[in-house]
Amino acid sequence: MLNTKRWSVDLEKDLSTYYPQIKQAADLLQQNEVVAFPTETVYGLGANAKETEAVMKIYEAKGRPSDNPLIVHIAEVQQLHEFAQIESEKAKALMDAFWPGALTIVLPCKPGTLSKQVTAGLSTVGVRMPDHPIALELIRAAGLPIAAPSANRSGKPSPTQADHVASDLEGRIAGIVDGGSTGIGVESTVVSCVGETPVILRPGGITKEALEEVVGTVSVDPGLTKKDEAPVSPGMKYTHYAPEAKMYIFHGSDEDMQRHIQKYKAEGLKVGVLTTEEKKSLFAADVVYSCGWREKPETVAANLYRVLRQFDETDVDLIISEAFSEEGVGSAIMNRLQKAAGGRTLPSFQ
């Protein structure tokens, strides 16, 4: 067991006040230790992307399959030239438009520059520049490209608060930089810019519509729905973001959803419902949690993982979630729900 250090940083105050704490965390990264830190999406679990010894500690702490590539985080564009080839004009346009921000861009990786454990043996690497002052300051202080998946045990909901990180990884990692709650709440959008047409490998905080305003046509990788292909991006394989109770998604009417609730309750099961503020009074279940406003999907994204973790504090046997539109950020919301449910859905009553 490691003695996990924790540093609290108040973003309401001048960040320079906290430089000694950030420097301590950066020193651990330079020593090939693993440190969790906040980004604008979720908390990341960072390590030196150049050293296999450091990167393997991420996989060990998370219990993560080693064929799942990691995203590399940078604080300055010039860092990118150390390990990636930037040949695509569309990639440059996306960087100009969305960095720093919730966009990961997949580019050809220069051989021998990063640990092969970062790329999972692929010839490409996903890179992003986070839009969070603590993340940027930490990366600058470390002077390294930082490999960082979400800071949770593999398969669990991603952490949007430092307490979520501690719950999963206390004693397994060297440190946690506590910067309060994250903003967007779902991970970055991942876009491959290896070919002529950019391809979304994982929906996230930046929508397809926003990408197309900058570079024109953007396609969606069919691997998002195929289970038998090797993942070329985090989030494309395995059950992710899952609460402990079995979860189902329901696409039908509110009345039919309540019928499912009643059916399971009649079988002696305790039922949880994941819904929205507009609908929470419609369902009579053992536990009903709202994750935001249906008319404001960005609030659903921001609260989704927190609410999934709340269910783990209850004794429900199963969770039924309402479905959402897949327009805009709804695409990321439904992607995460489908992963959390392992693809399980409930049929409408005939």
Is 68 annotated in a binding site? The answer is yes
Is 294 annotated in a binding site? The answer is no
Is 150 annotated in a binding site? The answer is yes
CA-to-CA distance for 148 and 118, rounded, in angstroms? 9
Is 202 annotated in a binding site? The answer is yes
CA-to-CA distance for 156 and 151, rounded, in angstroms? 10
Q: Of 121, 134, 87, 89, whose CA–CA distance to 107 is shortest?
A: 87
- Note the Cα 16 to chain centre separation in Å: 28
Is 309 annotated in a binding site? The answer is no
Angle between helices 19-30 and 133-142 (to 10 degrees): 50
Sign of CA dihedral 293, 299, 304, 306: negative
Is 19 annotated in a binding site? The answer is no
Tell how strand 124-128 and strand 71-73 pair up. Answer: parallel
Residue 228 CA: distances (Å) to CA of 222, 223, 224, 325? 11, 9, 11, 26
Q: Of 262, 350, 273, 278, whose CA–CA distance to 311 is shortest?
A: 273
Is 241 annotated in a binding site? The answer is yes
Is 124 annotated in a binding site? The answer is yes
Name the β-bridge partners of 46: 35
Is 188 annotated in a binding site? The answer is yes
Q: Of 63, 49, 300, 68, whose CA–CA distance to 202 is shortest?
A: 68
Is 64 annotated in a binding site? The answer is yes
Is 17 annotated in a binding site? The answer is no
Q: Which residues are annotated as a binding site?
A: 41, 64, 68, 73, 124, 128, 148, 150, 158, 188, 202, 241
Q: Which residues are annotated as a binding site for ATP?
A: 64, 124, 150, 158, 202, 241
Q: Which residues are annotated as a binding site for L-threonine?
A: 41, 68, 73, 128, 148, 188
